[in-house]
Amino acid sequence: LLQLFRPLDMLGMVYRTVRQGLIDMAEMFRLIDTEPEVRDAPGAPGLVVRQPTVVFDQVVFGYEDGRTILHGLSFEVPAGSHVAIVGPSGAGKSTIGRLLFRFYDPWSGRILIDGQDITQVTQASLRRAVGIVPQDSVLFNDTIGYNIAYGRDDADVKRVIQAARAAAILPLIERLPEGFDTEVGERGLKLSGGEKQRVAIARTLVKDPPILLLDEATSALDSRTEQEILATLRRVSKDRTTLAIAHRLSTIADADRILVLDHGRLTESGTHRELLAARGLYAEMWARQQAEKGTPTETMN
Ligand code: ATP
Ligand 1: residues within 6 Å at CB?
63-64, 69, 87, 89-95, 247
Residue 75 pLDDT greater than 50, yes or no: yes
Residue 49 confidence (pLDDT)? 96
Beta strand ranges found along 154-204 (DSSP E): none
Rounded to two decimals, the ipTM of the complex is 0.97
pLDDT tens-digit series, residues 13-38: 454 444 444 445 555 555 555 556 78
Residue 295 confidence (pLDDT)? 54
Sequence-distant (≥ 6) Cβ neighbours of residue 71 within 8 angstroms: 60, 263, 264, 265
Distance CA 216, CA 28 (A): 21
pLDDT tens-digit series, residues 275-297: 999 999 999 999 998 888 765 54
Distance CA 199, CA 145 (A): 9
Bridge partners (DSSP) of residue 158 are: none
Q: What is the bridge-based pairing of β-strands 70-77 and 54-61?
A: antiparallel
Instruction: For a ligand 1 pocket test, name from 69, 101, 103 the mutation site with the most ligand atoms within 8 angstroms of its C-beta.
Output: 69
pLDDT tens-digit series, residues 121-164: 999 999 899 998 877 777 888 899 999 998 777 778 899 999 99
Instruction: For a ligand 1 pocket test, name from 18, 22, 95, 98 the mutation site with the most ligand atoms within 8 angstroms of its C-beta.
Output: 95
Residue 73 confidence (pLDDT)? 97
Looking at the chain, the whole-number percentage of residues with pLDDT higher than 90 is 54
Looking at the chain, the whole-number percentage of residues with pLDDT higher than 70 is 84
Which atom from ligand 1 is nearest to the alpha carbon of 92?
11
Q: What is the bridge-based pairing of β-strands 82-86 and 241-245?
A: parallel
Distance CA 267, CA 260 (A): 6
> The whole model's pTM is what?
0.84
Closest Cα to atom 22 of ligand 1: 63
